[in-house]
Structure 1
């Protein structure tokens, strides 16, 4: 790793611009150690920007350090982070700031996060009513929910009430809730009673297939068009339906032959489309995947291309499809999408998700270095993903106006060039983000930038 001992960077070369660039680049350095991270947290009181804390990867120790930060902006940054150690994150349930506790109560289980045992009870016992109200979102035990049903705040009482809780409440509490003067509590009670205490009206008998196909409601006809329980011959009457969505749904039925499908005058919509249920449910089955991939219906081919795993022969068929969006969908969704196609889509797709293709498991392969002098700027950047390329490639691209920053961040950059770039305006930020910097080098940069070492631990 690159060290910066001695006078490789004289203090008189460190301008305010360079110092700020180092601090900014180090925040995104993937090799950041905990002691350096703590120093960066201490330096982060210089401005109000905290985007780095809500976006960069944070391990358990880093998350705990942010939870313990005295700056509320740091703790708030964690609320929107979608990849955190949930046990460390749960420290916010006891945060001294009511605002933080409320935000945590709202977001504790978002992004599919597990809410640790005991945390809902902590939130339910909070001194702030709005926090207690939000605690009802995350699986409270019935005895805790029952306590909240008697809370002094009407919002809390209303949110605590559920059909499951009602039978467990004492007769006295139920009578009190029935006579509650607050509208939101009365509405919650009424919803429970209408759901369970009163007999619901008998459901109307289901419509016969003929009635569904002939319905005036286009949504009923659309559902009938897709329903395998509606006989094929009857469903085909909808081929002349005035509603394009009904006709499109019909065209994607599983039981149609390709000849029947081709005879339907369906319209392919722009943008995303409905996947037929049979592909959603059984698209992982090789026989279903092969049938859809061989279909003349482009939406069936796009639908099966959304599968994460597909047989090799199906991938081969879809990768050669004449439809651009079949191939793009394959690259965005399927882990077996071929390397060359992923690179092609990365280079030429202009949608918002183009950059995500760089993270496809088949993107970084030997041979990408051949694109180093390609006129397409994305392909020049892709050259840096070649795992077999050496420092020569990095140096070839380092002054490229479009991908030079990525080259400066590349750990294959020669040490002497990395050190030089640390004092070059426009390159200093990227050089500080280079994971080849040793922990000692990172500390040295912070020393030169005037960031105090107080409390820093040895790496």
Structure 2
């Protein structure tokens, strides 16, 4: 791989004539970056697609190619993408439905808006993978028809399709009104009874670990039930019986549903599996009594799931914050807090609560300023990246808390050039701060030169347009390929150097 040419291909300042020259010599790696250029003309996109077929796929997804630009016989993958984007010729679908490669027919089956005769042909395909793909994405009418397919794998796909009618999903779970499935992927290949060992020694085997069939296609039936439980279109009354199912995975899927009655939630709150309880804890369907019961759960993941529940009361969330590692994230309940609640949270004596509040980016100015002077470094770390803080406030944070907040202060979009230079010279050095400075729009040449000394910040600094051109040119021969590529992508690279680099 020529990393310098790859970097040039992504350089926003590369002149159009040099783009043409790169297209003429592009390989698959260079084509990836060329295809991502916002300034690529229609003529250049067509030339690149003809030069490197892989790039045509990307260009088609991005809408840079039209049906008139594509030869479906020479570029079937691109034709498939345009069909899936409803930008292709319907006649292509009729041709591809008979393609000898199953992978292409399978891709076609995932496309929406296919002609009815093509859908019928795919539904009768000899390869079950094609029919299953169709079942996964098709219309309610076709999904209902395929629910009675003799192959269990097709039924599993129907169960996952959110367009499948609710009555059909209920029938798939209970089996009522449907003929028994005759085959599955396991008994298609193995003599039953058979259980696929987790460490299968056969390199060409693609059965999932634990796949099994004793004649009842039990592992595929389990997967079908799991898909139906995860499907929001499945009627509530059809899933209630799974609360006591021996399969933990099925109970876990049940606990995630937002339509659970309170009686069922009360049964799941006592589930022996922490995973099931954690899924339930995050579910907005649970009531206040269950929320408070789960707040005392011994499992950390259960409490963390509860913290992400949008219905959790703030006093319960305060209890969780002090005993649970929640991470730097804006919790739904914090995001929905009212102005009065925001004031109460800001006055909390628990710094973990103030940390959670500081994740909001729309705080009133007075709350913003109070948190910026918080005595707890974790709170300051949480508020430091907020836009709107003054240079004086940011400097005061570093003066009070030093290395503990330096990186987050450097990440503030309003950090001034002078402040970034000071942070780059901070003693002791803060490696994370170097990386934030190197990608900051206000970083100056002196700050970036300091960042070059840090291994992880070096590629970021090499791409920054404020880096002196002479330094950028030197970095084109750096020992680290990431640095070479970043330097070549730097928009401040002199045009004459760009021209010399392109063959």
**TM tier, shorter chain?**
0.5 to 0.7
Task: Spell out, residue by residue over 1:282-314, the C-alpha distance to the aligned partner (whole angstroms, 9 max, x if none).
Answer: 14x544444434434555444444434333233
Distance 1:93 1:341 in 2: 57
Distance 1:222 1:423 in 2: 50
Offset of residue 195 of structure 1:
1.6
Cα distance change of structure 1 residues 314 and 58 upon mapping to structure 2, 3 Å threshold: same
Distance 1:184 1:400 in 2: 56
Cα distance change of structure 1 residues 99 and 195 upon mapping to structure 2, 3 Å threshold: same
Aligned residue number for residue 6 of structure 1: none
Counterpart of 2:20 (choices 38, 60, 67) is 38
Task: Spell out, residue by residue over 1:402-453, the C-alpha distance to the aligned partner (whole angstroms, 9 max, x if none).
Answer: 67887776656677x479859977798776544345545532443xxxx1xx
Paired residues of 2:280 and 2:286 also in contact (CA < 8 A): no
Aligned residue number for residue 118 of structure 1: 87
- Alignment partner of 1:87: what SS? coil
Counterpart of 2:64 (choices 67, 81, 88) is 88
Offset of residue 117 of structure 1:
3.6
Paired residues of 2:373 and 2:380 also in contact (CA < 8 A): yes
Counterpart of 2:324 (choices 260, 264, 269) is 269
Does residue 64 of structure 2 align to residue 64 of structure 1? no
Aligned residue number for residue 134 of structure 1: 107
Offset of residue 132 of structure 1:
3.5
Paired residues of 2:476 and 2:484 also in contact (CA < 8 A): yes
Offset of residue 326 of structure 1:
4.5
Paired residues of 2:11 and 2:489 also in contact (CA < 8 A): yes
Distance 1:423 1:305 in 2: 42
Cα distance change of structure 1 residues 274 and 96 upon mapping to structure 2, 3 Å threshold: same
Query: What TM-score do the two structures reach when normalised by structure 1?
Result: 0.58
Distance 1:183 1:238 in 2: 38
Task: Spell out, residue by residue over 1:36-92, the C-alpha distance to the aligned partner (whole angstroms, 9 max, x if none).
Answer: 1232243444xx75596289754443882575142346557x49xxxx982116779
Paired residues of 2:461 and 2:467 also in contact (CA < 8 A): yes
Aligned residue number for residue 155 of structure 1: 129
Paired residues of 1:27 and 1:40 also in contact (CA < 8 A): yes
Does residue 261 of structure 2 align to residue 206 of structure 1? yes
Paired residues of 1:305 and 1:318 also in contact (CA < 8 A): yes
Offset of residue 31 of structure 1:
0.9
Counterpart of 1:362 (choices 414, 419, 430) is 414
Range moving further from structure 2, 149-158 or 177-186: 177-186
Task: Spell out, residue by residue over 1:251-289, the C-alpha distance to the aligned partner (whole angstroms, 9 max, x if none).
Answer: 8975465xx877x58763346489765335x14x54444
Distance 1:122 1:362 in 2: 55
Aligned residue number for residue 295 of structure 1: 348
Range moving further from structure 2, 367-376 or 202-211: 202-211
Offset of residue 156 of structure 1:
2.5
Paired residues of 2:372 and 2:397 also in contact (CA < 8 A): no
Distance 1:182 1:370 in 2: 67
Task: Spell out, residue by residue over 1:98-117, the C-alpha distance to the aligned partner (whole angstroms, 9 max, x if none).
Answer: 78559x85xx99xxxxx744
Offset of residue 184 of structure 1:
3.5
Counterpart of 2:499 (choices 438, 443, 451) is 443
Higher-RCO chain (CA-CA 8 Å, sequence separation at least 6): 1
Cα distance change of structure 1 residues 419 and 359 upon mapping to structure 2, 3 Å threshold: closer
Distance 2:156 2:268 in 1: 39
Offset of residue 158 of structure 1:
2.8
Distance 1:383 1:207 in 2: 52
Distance 2:13 2:421 in 1: 25
Matches within 5 A, 1:15-414: 23=5, 26-45=8-27, 49-50=29-30, 53=33, 58-61=38-41, 64=45, 67-72=48-53, 74=55, 78=58, 86-88=62-64, 100-101=77-78, 105=81, 116-119=85-88, 124-125=93-94, 126=96, 127=99, 128-137=101-110, 139-140=112-113, 143=116, 145=119, 148-151=122-125, 153-161=127-135, 165=139, 167=141, 182-185=151-154, 194-195=168-169, 206-207=261-262, 211=266, 215=270, 223=280, 230=287, 241-244=297-300, 255=313, 257=315, 268-270=323-325, 272=327, 277-280=332-335, 282-283=336-337, 285-297=338-350, 300-321=353-374, 324-330=377-383, 334-336=386-388, 340=394, 361-363=413-415, 365=417, 367-371=419-423, 373-375=425-427, 376=429, 382=437, 387=442, 393=446
How many positions carry a matched residue from both structures?
394
- Alignment partner of 2:104: what SS? helix
Range moving further from structure 2, 130-139 or 84-93: 84-93
Offset of residue 32 of structure 1:
1.4
